[in-house]
């Protein structure tokens, strides 16, 4: 899998309430959730970002409650994937269950500015910063997890079988 997009940076400990505020949890409609993605962290985020862009987070991205709404909102907004220094364990699992690709890179968040364009080659395990010779290693996604993403998440993967 290859992803190329503009980076939108967020800091450490971005919790699920910042990703999708609790006041919008009365729906599970992806379109409605997408309209409020990252609203409490950056109220204009969905107006500024474009489909294919990438969220870059710090440590413990997705901490807080275990709501599946968070990766659904990110994916439905058009974000292609999330890169962070680390992910909260339950968010990590929910992201794959919902078909949202995520990658860990300890170095990337401190090395580049918001707005840079990056390319992620998940097969080779490399992130490249466009217009520079900067490269960062990531752990490749295991084949089974890649299949979950390709199928659109765990439930769609199971339905396929």
> Does residue 42 have a pLDDT over 90?
yes
When pLDDT is averaged across residues 119-126 and rounded to a whole number, the result is 92
pLDDT digits (tens, 9 = 90+) for 18-30: 999 999 999 889 9
With b meaning 16 or more CB within 10 Å and e meaning fewer, what string describes 113-139? eeebebebbbeeeebbbeeeeeebebe
Name the more confident of 142 and 37.
37
Q: What is the pLDDT of residues 58-112, one digit of tens each?
A: 999 999 987 899 999 999 999 999 999 999 999 999 999 999 999 999 999 999 9
Confidence at 143, pLDDT banded by 50, 70, 90: confident
Q: Which domains does the chain have, with CATH numbers?
A: 2-160 (3.20.19.10)
**CA dihedral for 109, 111, 112, 117, sign (positive or negative):** negative
pLDDT of residue 65: 84
Look at residue 66 in the predicted model and tell me its pLDDT: 78
Q: What is the dihedral of CA 39, 105, 2, 71, to 10 degrees?
A: -30
Rounded percentage of the chain residues whose pLDDT exceeds 90 = 80
For the cut 90, the answer to whether the pLDDT of residue 139 exceeds it is no
Q: What pLDDT score does 117 carry? A: 97
Strand partners for 82: 55, 102
- pLDDT(137) > 90: yes
Checking if the pLDDT of 123 tops 90, the result is no
């Amino acid at each position: 899998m290859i992803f190329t997009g503009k980076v939108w940076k967020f800091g450490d400990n971005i919790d699920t309430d910042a990703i999708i505020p609790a006041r919008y949890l009365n729906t599970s409609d992806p379109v409605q959730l997408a309209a409020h993605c990252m609203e409490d962290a950056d109220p204009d985020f969905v107006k500024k970002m474009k489909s294919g862009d990438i969220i870059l987070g710090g440590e413990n991205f997705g901490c807080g409650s275990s709501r599946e709404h968070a990766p659904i909102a990110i994916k439905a907004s058009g974000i292609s994937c999330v890169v962070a220094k680390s992910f909260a364990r339950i968010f990590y699992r929910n992201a794959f269950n919902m078909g949202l690709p995520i990658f860990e890179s300890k170095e990337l968040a401190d090395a580049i500015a918001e707005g840079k364009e990056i390319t992620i080659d998940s097969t080779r395990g490399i992130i490249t910063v466009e217009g520079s010779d900067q490269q960062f290693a990531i752990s490749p996604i295991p084949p089974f997890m890649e299949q979950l993403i390709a199928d659109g998440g765990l439930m769609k993967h199971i339905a396929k079988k």
